[in-house]
């Protein structure tokens, strides 16, 4: 198993981050590192607007990066579960 980085775009509002973090514990996965920032440079996030057909405003969403060590099947399962969270716009493995 190797360490993977997950890139998660979520609504920047109270309670959104803890839903993602809580899910790791609920489902028995471990978080090895975590970084979160509000998205201010919208140019880097055109793909979110394109994929969801929405318009983002500055600071409206956050970019969360989580590192975790899992196999392929578990990675797919984690991503599906994170994507299911109502406040998450996109969760995917980082290139």
Contact status: 11 vs another protein (CB under 8 A): yes
E strands, the chain, in order:
2-11, 33-38, 61-70, 88-93
We find the least distance from the C-beta atom of residue 67 to another protein, in angstroms, to be: 21
In the block, tokens 């899992």 appear at 70
Phi/psi at 56 (5° precision): -95, 145
> Sign of torsion, CA 22 25 29 34?
positive
Using rule CB under 8 A, residue 92 touches another protein:
no
Q: Among the residues of 29-91, which ranges form H helices?
A: 46-52, 72-84
User: Which is closer to another protein, CB of 66 or CB of 88?
Assistant: 88
- Mark the segment that binds another protein (CB under 8 A) among 28-36, 37-45, 70-78: 70-78
| 87 lies in the binding site for another protein (CB under 8 A) | yes
Q: Footprint of another protein on this chain (CB under 8 A)? A: 10-11, 14-15, 18-19, 22, 26, 52, 54, 73, 76-77, 80-81, 83-84, 86-89
């Amino acid at each position: 198993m190797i360490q993977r980085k997950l890139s998660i775009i979520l609504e920047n509002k109270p309670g959104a981050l803890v839903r993602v973090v809580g899910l790791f514990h609920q489902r028995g996965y471990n978080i090895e590192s975590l970084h979160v920032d509000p998205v201010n440079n919208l140019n880097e996030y055109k793909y979110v607007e394109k994929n969801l057909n929405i318009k983002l405003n500055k600071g409206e969403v956050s970019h969360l990066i989580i590192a975790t060590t899992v196999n392929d099947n578990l990675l797919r399962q984690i991503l599906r579960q994170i994507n299911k969270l109502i406040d998450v716009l996109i969760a995917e493995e980082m290139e």
